[in-house]
Chains A and B, each alone.
Chain A
């Protein structure tokens, strides 16, 4: 276990380094950031001076050296646009994104797993086919369209839920959180539901496929022969055996939603990471993009690590090495 953790940490460092190289290369091909920081009517001399101050006149390798050196000292640079440390900017926005993403994956899992178990255990039934058709819709409907329809129905037509922003937020340990207020919850619902649909549909299909496989197994019939109830057989014996692929996809989706909630956040004017990313890309705010991408890489590695641990909790035959 310890060896495994160390191996995983080394892997994490390696991934982050690789990401830093890719990000750095990508950045140097995307326009000259000097124009972001100087007034529009600057003279050539002023431009050159700004270049020197920002270190943009050095060679690529030297620039990368400075870049990585600063990173190692915990200095991720300042946003060209806000003048604030990029890391601070990102961490400010992270809770907002985490809120809708966590709620979205919880909704997805809570709805998808029972439906998937049902559809997998009763494959012939009309209700199972209806569930499966519904899940196809969930996969194929684009998120932005669903979001707009939800706004149209719940905000515009029925005036039930707000369509934009975070609502009242409470500050806890320096984090601004919406889910502690009623108004915050009202704001959370629509973006979370929108975000959950795709994940819900995929989890449902994976759960169903797993259950269809599992219900054929002898131990399921043996459990029934012991007198276990149908529910007990499906949930007590079946589900856990079908869970490995579900957890795998859940982990991937979780990372995906944190990293790319962009569209949903834009539609609902949700002040999360996604919106920050879009804004930063528009303004070529290099430091913010860099920190963002490194953070996303880190999140993926951490989720992967957790998923591996969860495997061993589900199945005693799996050990981490």
Chain B
């Protein structure tokens, strides 16, 4: 296998709050190859966004990257000077945020916010930049693009704003796009449009993507690989078909069971029992054990390491599910 585009190694990002240290990301590792789409899934508070912001060096005090490596083409971004990070942001790696209503500056025109990206990362002159912005807006499905450059974000609908944000993220031709729940704030019909758009744009450009979401159904359609986070740790990862088809970790299984399935008209969705524990004082052993139907005495004593399982799967579980137990 060729060297991955991005390789995250044992990343640990902690927040030193008044009420204790929040180990939001606590030893996360994964690789993304060129052109691949990786789904990063897990319940709220699992540390998905913090992983994304860590990659771009956007963790603010009281947060800090405590350790690990984030290798882009083998170059470590952890501890890299701000100057170097600024050349990575937007140009190599860009990000699409969850809420399109708030990620654009309300006081600048859409054109200005797009132009800024090109001014920062290219040598194009003003007319060339304008042409590039118009072309990009059109390619994300915004009609009358030339006119719309002069419009302000509040004159756009949520779906259109997210298209603009995606256009901005793609403008400087980044090799990796981190999409942090890019459609959660949009209504369902728009959601699938935006996701299709993103998939096509990524594929056309040969870029890679980290798709952050808590929606396994979305990920199973879009991603080549899946990484499941729970309480700041990777509990399972592997190829999408293996993870969705026959997960090894009970947590992943729980997430899959709570996808509404239109084919089986279930009277009630199965939910994972209990709630995510307080991340500031996690119990010894496996963090999931209090919610796990398979937990045994061992789970309270030792934190299971991430180990190779069947097929492409790696899971952190003392008593993983077998293929025969697949849904």
Which residues of the other chain, B, contact A226 by a CB distance below 8 angstroms? 89-90, 94, 116-117, 120, 168
Which residues of the other chain, B, contact A229 by a CB distance below 8 angstroms? 86
Which of A221, A241, A316 is in CB contact (< 8 Å) with B97?
A221
B154 contacts partner chain A, Cβ-Cβ < 8 Å: yes
Which residues of the other chain, B, contact A218 by a CB distance below 8 angstroms? 97, 99, 102-103
A8 contacts partner chain B, Cβ-Cβ < 8 Å: no
Within 78-130 of B, Cβ neighbours of A (below 8 Å) are at: 82, 86-91, 94-95, 97, 99, 102-108, 116-117, 120-121
Given A218-B97, A226-B94, A229-B86, the answer on whether A317 and B106 have CB atoms closer than 8 Å is yes
A223 contacts partner chain B, Cβ-Cβ < 8 Å: yes
A221 to B168, CA, bound (A): 14
B289 to chain A, nearest CB (A): 35
The contact string, 1 if C-beta is below 8 Å from chain B, for chain A 303-314, is 000000000001
Q: What residue of chain B has the Cβ atom nearest to residue A226's Cβ? A: B90
Does B89 contact A225, Cβ atoms closer than 8 Å?
yes
The contact string, 1 if C-beta is below 8 Å from chain B, for chain A 181-212, is 00000000000000000000000000000000
A interface secondary structure, majority = helix
Which of B58, B61, B152 is in CB contact (< 8 Å) with A221?
B58
Does B152 contact A316, Cβ atoms closer than 8 Å?
yes
A227 contacts partner chain B, Cβ-Cβ < 8 Å: yes
A130 to B38, CA, bound (A): 47
B56 contacts partner chain A, Cβ-Cβ < 8 Å: yes
Which of A124, A221, A227, A237 is in CB contact (< 8 Å) with B86?
A227
Within 141-166 of B, Cβ neighbours of A (below 8 Å) are at: 152, 154, 165
Give chain A's interface residue range (CB within 8 Å of chain B): 20 to 34
A129 to chain B, nearest CB (A): 15
Given A226-B89, A228-B120, A317-B152, the answer on whether A219 and B102 have CB atoms closer than 8 Å is yes
Which residues of the other chain, A, contact B88 by a CB distance below 8 angstroms? 227
Does B99 contact A237, Cβ atoms closer than 8 Å?
no
A224 contacts partner chain B, Cβ-Cβ < 8 Å: yes
Within 47-78 of A, Cβ neighbours of B (below 8 Å) are at: none
A252 to B53, CA, bound (A): 42
Does A224 contact B58, Cβ atoms closer than 8 Å?
yes
A4 contacts partner chain B, Cβ-Cβ < 8 Å: no
Does B61 contact A227, Cβ atoms closer than 8 Å?
no
Which of A225, A237, A314, A317 is in CB contact (< 8 Å) with B58?
A225
Given A124-B61, A230-B82, the answer on whether A225 and B106 have CB atoms closer than 8 Å is no
Going nearest first, the 7 A-B pairs with the smallest beta carbon separation are A227-B90, A218-B102, A227-B89, A222-B103, A225-B95, A226-B90, A219-B105
Binding site for A on B (CB under 8 A): 53, 56, 58, 61, 82, 86-91, 94-95, 97, 99, 102-108, 116-117, 120-121, 152, 154, 165, 168
